[in-house]
Amino acid sequence: MIVRKLTLGPFATNCYIVGSESNKEGMVIDPADEAQLILSNVKELGLDIKSVALTHGHLDHIGALKEVKEATGAEVAIHSDDVNFLHHHSLGALFGLSYPTPPLPDRLLKDGDSLDVGDLHFSVLHTPGHSAGGICLLGHGVVFSGDTLFNYGIGRTDLPGGSYSQLMDSIHNQLLVLPDDTIVYPGHGPDSTIGAERRGNPFLGDKPSL
């Protein structure tokens, strides 16, 4: 499996280009910004991008979505509970930023769905808390955790649709149950593993009751 991480834009958001080594089909996860840099890396890797997956709809993860979609023709996939961010991308005004109006999704995801790229298969884990429709993508020994879980951190819960209790429930029930050696590729910051986060993440105490 090919995985290339690009850290993009004013929020230093991680965008991932994932591809099959066997047939060179690929997926872009969270096209945050700097579309031409994303596309040049896709070209360098020789990938045919079939899907653009959004871990959630916040502006710092979708800034280059329009350009990447137009250049690749790939389907755009997002959880149904976050699709309104693509209709009403108002968070940009909150941070004094503007970006191209994103295209509407081609596919609405739900927990348990599969995103397939060539011979790669990723399970959709619905992990609300940072946003109502936040997801992680699990497969091949890695999890793309979006803004749910970071290296020794967790996602913020003070934006619209956020919930601390939901976030903690998502982390404990969807992520910490994974094998210790599962690599965590987060939406911001350095990589980690599930084992490292279980042992040392200072934000993860006892699971709260809902």
pLDDT tens, 12-41? 999 999 999 999 999 999 999 999 999 999
Q: For tokens 């709260």, name the residue.
A: 208
Query: Average pLDDT of the chain?
Result: 93
As a whole number, mean pLDDT of residues 159-166 equals 92
As a whole number, mean pLDDT of residues 152-167 equals 94
Is 67's pLDDT higher than 60?
A: yes
Question: Does 138 fall in a domain?
Answer: yes
As a whole number, mean pLDDT of residues 53-78 equals 96
Q: In which domain, by residue range, is 126 found?
A: 2-200
Question: Does 151 fall in a domain?
Answer: yes
pLDDT tens, 96-141? 667 778 888 999 999 999 999 999 999 999 999 999 999 999 999 9
Q: How far apart are CA 128 and CA 67, in angstroms?
A: 27
Q: How many domains does the chain have?
A: 1
Buried b (16+ CB within 10 A) or exposed e, 110-143: eeebebebbebebebbbbbbbbbbbbbbbbeebb
As a whole number, mean pLDDT of residues 65-71 equals 96
Q: For tokens 């803004």, name the residue.
A: 147
Read off the CATH number of the domain in which 25 is found: 3.60.15.10
Question: Does 195 fall in a domain?
Answer: yes
Could you give the percent of the chain with pLDDT greater than 90?
85
Q: Angle formed by the axes of helices 35-45 and 65-72, to 10°?
A: 40
Q: How far apart are CA 103 and CA 105, in angstroms?
A: 6
Is 185's pLDDT higher than 90?
A: yes
DSSP state of 184: E
Question: Does 38 fall in a domain?
Answer: yes
As a whole number, mean pLDDT of residues 189-207 equals 91
Question: Does 209 fall in a domain?
Answer: no
